Chains A and B, each alone.
Chain A
Amino acid sequence: MPSVSMTVNGRAVTGDVEGRTLLVQFLRENLSLTGTHVGCDTSQCGACVVHVNGESVKSCTMLAVQADGAEVTTIEGLAKDGELHPMQEAFRENHGLQCGFCTPGMVMSAVDLLQKNPNPDEGEIREWLEGNICRCTGYHNIVKAIQTAAASMKG
């Protein structure tokens, strides 16, 4: 049984996994980090998005062994010292979530967008979110939240 070591939310972790263990299973089952969700089985919904070495990936489409040695950030690791990340704050401020199930992946994806494009326009935001499906919000307030976060992170 392979053993993997990685840094998750700044903490060094090690665990025995099977070759087939997905990163999302390792996070949810081995580390009890249940903020990362599974909403589909075709790598499309994005409820499972986390950051691996600073970039957003679908943790349901990555083996735990592929993350060996990596730096992983999940939704649980985004707030620092009890302070919400500006993206989390913007989602709250703009009612960018309803049932909350897609939200962790949505937020992690949005954070990656602003890393790559700090000033996205509405069209760029909507295009970037192709890999994140939300059934509740109609995306309207998610787009607004990302615009708000972009503005506050510049400021």
Chain B
Amino acid sequence: MSDTGIGASVKRKEDFRFLTGQGRYTDDINRPGQLYAYFVRSPHAHAKIKGINKAEAEKSPGVRAVFIGADMEADNVGSLPCGWVVTDRHGDPHKAPPHFPLARDKVRYVGDHVAVVIAETYAQAKEAGETVEVDYEELPAAATLGTALSSSAPLVHDEAPGNLCYDWVLGDEAEADAAFAKAAHITKVDLVNNRLIPNAMEPRAAIGEYDGGTDSYTLYSTSQNPHLLKLILCAFVLGLSENKLRVIAPDVGGGFGSKIFCYAEETVCTWAAKKVRAPVKWTGDRSEAFTSDAHGRDHITHAQLAMDENGKFLGMKVETTANMGAYLSSFATSIPTYLYATLLAGQYTTPVIYVNVKSAFTNTAPVDAYRGAGRPEATYVVERLVEVAAREMNIDPAEIRRRNFIKPEQFPYQTPVALQYDIGDYDASMTKALEMIDYDGFPARKAASEAKGKLRGIGFSAYIEACGIAPSAVVGSLGAGVGLWESAQVRFNATGTVSVFTGTHSHGQGHETTFSQLVADTLGLPIENVEVVHGDTGSIPMGMGTYGSRSLAVGGSAISKACDKIIEKSKKIAAHLMEASVDDVEFDKGTFRVKGTDKEKSIAEIAFTAYVPHNYPEDLEPGLDETAFYDPLNFTYPSGVHIAEVEIDPATGMTEIVDWVAVDDFGNVINPMVVEGQVHGGIAQGVGQAMLERAVYDDGGQLLTGSYMDYCMPRADNLPSFRVGMTQTACTHNPLGVKGCGEAGAIAAPAATINAITNALGILSMDMPATPEKVWRLANQHAQAAE
């Protein structure tokens, strides 16, 4: 392994610009003559719009235009679509009420978009916005998931009776009932997967621009998938020719799913740029992010696990109600179905699983993918069930997992919930994690804590995820409106340097480094000779963007394929130059050699020849520039075991995470430093969910946690340093043998944390987040019970 090749912790190429203040985020971009947009938003969770008087706003200083829903309707602007059709238990598609970028007759959540004011300065737009008079007739709100599906709940959409988006099932209920009938023990849990607000540190922003000379648009946007945004805006919303919109997603300050979706603000900025004949810039503030970024999670679940007398799992039944919010965000419907229910087998051989998911409309912000997207919710169900089962059956929590793990020789393994796992070694991860945490030493550590008046607990989470999203044919058969392949273009420049164009998008993941390593290693080039370009639909082949831990597994595989094509073509040129048969030319570390001779040509010489083809094969095109599209054959299945150890002060309810061991199997690893960083960040978000974060709406639909004063973000002093280990089973079906690492921490951590805290408290269950108040109450209840 070279110090910059595959497997090396190469320092990141992107860091210099970020560390010196030279990153270029959307709000850092200013276009000549640009105007500023301010959105007038609904203060009500549910109301009829009886009238809008914008006359005073239009006369305000600096204001160029004020637009409302009727203006967009007049231009035939469509609804923001949901790109995944879920078919319900009766064979009908999910309810898909329209979602207009500016509300037309009704507002349906606090923060819903009512009007946009466009002015010469942002302050002018905002001040004028306060003078837009909206005549609302307030309506009762269905703000709470727990009651949204009841017959007495106010109706969010006339198109969705009972607020039901779909009632969906997976698995055979009768088979599950039969398995439960044979059970020696049944464990039951009731779980709330708390609603979260993604909170990427860079708020969303957009600049729409229109060029009258070519009748074309440019949109700068904080997007994780600029091509997808372009496709949705052109084909579904604005009715533009796709060759007339260029979307640029420059440096993006974190996404975690929330920047996948097509939002109202960027739609309005693009549309309005033509109306006002000037670039229109909108930069969200944090308050707007809280109310109108798509939120995550928000499930209520009742789950049961049937076991024989040895704790062998016989069957599982899960009933979940999931919140869609007021409108369907771009992929909302797929999250609590295909990205959730299909993961409920976990790492175990549970032979029968039956899942019923009902998704509900509520008068709250839309809910969609947030780091992990369905898989953290599934892992929380499985790993809470297993932990409670272990406690009820009095079996060691590591042991009950081991008894039920899928064994290495059982792969490929078909689960009862549609997925076929290709490879894994769950016991290896468990063994390594137990060693790292010194499981045998736990009783002594617990006793030492007790001597200090503290309660110590240990918690496990053995997770699996389906990543590398995804095989197009599979997701298509399940209702996805897009294919989920990825593209790459590898372009040699004449002087031997390489530009790599990827359809994935980096917003913190370090693609510029990892992909450079991959290309430099494959083509035998110095890493500094490779440049990775992403985020501009004007220069990159159509690609699907970054989410679902797919960038390396799918995008990296496309790069690998493109490199193969480069080598294949180069061999022909090399054979010509060295007057040998192509079959006799070998390639290794950047050099082509004729077998059994000392003839050789560097790949840089070949590139030069390809662009200056004076002496060149007759039947070959000049140039060395190859594009590849890669459609994965299966999902990838990263897995692992996380173990958390906590110490609780029963006097204050304060919980300290005193140790955290993460052992993950991500398959082959290109850059361990980057991978470990992804694990750290994921754990922090998972611990945030377990201990700190919770989005709360009151019964009237007002968001009570609308700023960092009330929504608790993980800070440095909430977290420990993490200990990260790896095991490896290479993915069997992509050329790199990689699986994906971006979401693992967020998937594993909530269950590990709650299992540790409940272990410390000597109880079976508690709801997230485990705040000091809740822990204090439980600790003291526990103390009383122990007396």
A–B direct touch, CB within 8 Å, in complex?
A: yes
CB distance from A69 to the nearest CB of B (A): 23
Residue among A92, A122, A135, A141 with max Cβ neighbours from chain B (10 Å):
A135
Collect the chain B residues with CB atoms within 8 Å of residue A88's CB: 19-20
Collect the chain B residues with CB atoms within 8 Å of residue A44's CB: 708-709
Assess whether A135 is in contact with B254, with CB atoms less than 8 Å apart: yes
A81 contacts B by Cβ under 8 Å: no
Assess whether B286 is in contact with A98, with CB atoms less than 8 Å apart: no
Query: What is the chain A residue whose CB lies nearest that of B507?
Result: A99
- The 7 lowest CB-CB distance pairs between A and B, nearest first, are A35-B21, A101-B253, A100-B18, A99-B508, A138-B684, A98-B508, A138-B680
Query: What is the chain A residue whose CB lies nearest that of B688?
Result: A135
Contact with A along B708-721 (1 / 0, CB 8 A): 11000111110101
In chain A, residues 52-72, which have Cβ atoms closer than 8 Å to a Cβ of chain B?
none
Known: A41-B286, A138-B683. 20 other contacts (CB 8 A): A36-B21, A41-B285, A42-B708, A88-B19, A97-B19, A99-B201, A99-B507, A100-B508, A126-B719, A129-B717, A133-B713, A134-B201, A134-B716, A135-B254, A137-B681, A138-B680, A139-B680, A139-B716, A139-B719, A143-B716
Interface of B is mostly: loop
- Chain B interface size, as a band, is 35 or more
Q: How far is the CA of A134 from the CA of B251 in the complex (A)?
A: 16
B244 contacts A by Cβ under 8 Å: no
A49 contacts B by Cβ under 8 Å: no
A91 contacts B by Cβ under 8 Å: yes
Query: What is the chain A residue whose CB lies nearest that of B677?
Result: A95
Collect the chain B residues with CB atoms within 8 Å of residue A97's CB: 15, 18-19
In chain B, residues 1-46, which have Cβ atoms closer than 8 Å to a Cβ of chain A?
11-12, 14-25, 27-28
A40 contacts B by Cβ under 8 Å: yes
CB distance from B31 to the nearest CB of A (A): 14
- Chain A interface size, as a band, is 35 or more
Collect the chain A residues with CB atoms within 8 Å of residue B685's CB: 135, 138
A51 contacts B by Cβ under 8 Å: no
* A residues with CB within 8 A of B: 28, 33-42, 44-45, 47, 74-76, 78-79, 84, 88, 91-93, 95, 97-104, 107, 122-123, 125-127, 129-130, 132-144
Query: What is the chain A residue whose CB lies nearest that of B285?
Result: A41
* B residues with CB within 8 A of A: 11-12, 14-25, 27-28, 199-203, 251-254, 256, 285-287, 507-510, 673-674, 676-677, 680-685, 707-709, 713-717, 719, 721-722, 745
Collect the chain A residues with CB atoms within 8 Å of residue B510's CB: 98
Residue among B20, B25, B713 with max Cβ neighbours from chain A (10 Å):
B20
Contacts A74-B21, A140-B721; is A95 near B201 (CB within 8 Å)? no
Q: How far is the CA of A100 from the CA of B684 in the complex (A)?
A: 17
Assess whether A101 is in contact with B201, with CB atoms less than 8 Å apart: yes
Q: How far is the CA of A47 from the CA of B713 in the complex (A)?
A: 14
Assess whether A34 is in contact with B286, with CB atoms less than 8 Å apart: no
CB distance from A124 to the nearest CB of B (A): 10
Q: How far is the CA of A123 from the CA of B19 in the complex (A)?
A: 24
Assess whether B715 is in contact with A91, with CB atoms less than 8 Å apart: no
CB distance from A32 to the nearest CB of B (A): 8
**Contact of B707 (CB < 8 Å), options: A42, A84, A125, A135:** A42
Collect the chain B residues with CB atoms within 8 Å of residue A142's CB: 716
Q: How far is the CA of A41 from the CA of B708 in the complex (A)?
A: 9
Contacts A79-B20, A98-B508, A99-B254; is A126 near B717 (CB within 8 Å)? yes
**Contact of A42 (CB < 8 Å), options: B24, B254, B683, B709:** B709
Assess whether A92 is in contact with B16, with CB atoms less than 8 Å apart: yes
Collect the chain B residues with CB atoms within 8 Å of residue A132's CB: 716
CB distance from A39 to the nearest CB of B (A): 5
Contacts A98-B254, A122-B721; is A107 near B19 (CB within 8 Å)? yes
Collect the chain B residues with CB atoms within 8 Å of residue A134's CB: 201, 716
Q: How far is the CA of A92 from the CA of B11 in the complex (A)?
A: 7
Contacts A44-B708, A101-B253; is A136 near B20 (CB within 8 Å)? no
Assess whether A141 is in contact with B680, with CB atoms less than 8 Å apart: yes
Assess whether A98 is in contact with B677, with CB atoms less than 8 Å apart: yes
Assess whether B201 is in contact with A130, with CB atoms less than 8 Å apart: no
Q: How far is the CA of A101 from the CA of B199 in the complex (A)?
A: 12
Q: How far is the CA of A29 from the CA of B251 in the complex (A)?
A: 19
Assess whether B202 is in contact with A39, with CB atoms less than 8 Å apart: yes
Collect the chain B residues with CB atoms within 8 Å of residue A135's CB: 199-201, 254, 256, 681, 685, 713
Q: How far is the CA of A99 from the CA of B385 in the complex (A)?
A: 35
CB distance from B419 to the nearest CB of A (A): 29
Collect the chain A residues with CB atoms within 8 Å of residue B202's CB: 37, 39, 99, 101
CB distance from B574 to the nearest CB of A (A): 38
Assess whether A75 is in contact with B11, with CB atoms less than 8 Å apart: no
Assess whether B203 is in contact with A136, with CB atoms less than 8 Å apart: no
Contacts A133-B713, A135-B685; is A47 near B20 (CB within 8 Å)? no
CB distance from B773 to the nearest CB of A (A): 20
Contacts A34-B28, A76-B20, A92-B19; is A102 near B716 (CB within 8 Å)? no
Query: What is the chain A residue whose CB lies nearest that of B717?
Result: A126
Collect the chain A residues with CB atoms within 8 Å of residue B509's CB: 98
Collect the chain B residues with CB atoms within 8 Å of residue A103's CB: 18-19
Q: How far is the CA of A67 from the CA of B285 in the complex (A)?
A: 24
**Contact of A141 (CB < 8 Å), options: B201, B677, B709:** B677
* 12 residue pairs A–B, Cβ–Cβ below 8 Å: A39-B203, A40-B286, A44-B709, A84-B16, A95-B11, A98-B681, A99-B251, A99-B254, A127-B717, A138-B719, A140-B677, A143-B716
**Contact of B14 (CB < 8 Å), options: A41, A76, A100, A130:** A100
CB distance from A59 to the nearest CB of B (A): 13
Collect the chain B residues with CB atoms within 8 Å of residue A42's CB: 286, 707-709
Assess whether B708 is in contact with A34, with CB atoms less than 8 Å apart: no
Q: How far is the CA of A95 from the CA of B719 in the complex (A)?
A: 17
Residue among B19, B22, B287, B745 with max Cβ neighbours from chain A (10 Å):
B19
**Contact of A93 (CB < 8 Å), options: B11, B677, B716, B745:** B11
Residue among B11, B254, B716 with max Cβ neighbours from chain A (10 Å):
B716
Collect the chain A residues with CB atoms within 8 Å of residue B253's CB: 37, 39, 99-102
Collect the chain A residues with CB atoms within 8 Å of residue B715's CB: 126, 129-130, 133, 139
